[in-house]
Amino acid sequence: MLRLLLIAIWVLIIMVLLGIPALLVLALIGLFNRELEHRLAQRYVLLIVGGITFLAGEKIVPLGLENIPENEGVLFISNHRSLFDIFTTYRFFKGPTACISKLEWKYVPILKQWMDTIRCIYLDRSSVRAGLKATAKAEDLLKKNVSVWVCPEGTRNHKDELLPFHEGSFRSAFQTGRRIVPFTLTHTDDLFEKHKPWIRPATVTVSFGKPIETAGLSKEQRKALIADIARDIQCQYNELQ
């Protein structure tokens, strides 16, 4: 109960009381320098998520940080277990990184504005046309050396067996020839989802794999690569349990 209350107070202060003036300043900066606005917004978001994980009592064990590219837009691919996935992982990205998020977050005041500053892409999972638009936006960001993070399971999954990966989640990398960096998350749902609405301390692991080339692959090779990535993330998840 206490952790939940402290996190609520932290979010109120950092995202609303201080966050609204910060958003106004960032918007002003963005009129003249969009890239600077993005970098400053990302640092502020790191402050937000760092406070949340600290108050939650989360201990993070990072592996494979040397596999995260710098100065290069890549497609990050991972499993998806918890709301805490974003809080856990975002600090490890070494450059501008946008997330593909479910459409519902677009309608949460203040949160939407912060997500917009780091160029998050909202995905309507019920519409094929909307999915194509989201892919086009991801391609545009990758071409600008902004990384994109997507969870191809499509929803949070608390089972030990991964859900089937949606092939469309990989299309932006294939279309642009950008590399894919897979990573695996474990135990993030131990913090919240397994005992909602309470938040309890937990030790979680995030393990980054080596970047994978995507340029020049045939249709059959692309399908095989998706299957290989899903299998590798599953194997890594099993090993880290």
| 39-48: average pLDDT | 92
Q: How confident is the model at residue 128 (pLDDT cuts 50, 70, 90)?
A: confident
- For residue 59, pLDDT over 90 is answered with yes
Longest dimension (CA), the chain: 54
The confidence score (pLDDT) of residue 35 equals: 83
| 74-94: average pLDDT | 95
Architecture, CATH, for domain 59-240: 3-Layer(aba) Sandwich (3.40)
- For residue 132, pLDDT over 90 is answered with no
- For residue 77, pLDDT over 90 is answered with yes
The confidence score (pLDDT) of residue 102 equals: 86
pTM of the model: 0.93
Domain positions in the chain: 59-240
User: Could you report the per-residue pLDDT of 19-30, keeping only the tens digit for each?
Assistant: 999 999 999 999
- For residue 119, pLDDT over 90 is answered with no
User: Could you report the per-residue pLDDT of 182-225, keeping only the tens digit for each?
Assistant: 999 999 999 999 988 899 999 999 999 999 999 999 999 999 99
| 144-164: average pLDDT | 94
Give the strand pairing for 121-123 and 75-78. Answer: unpaired
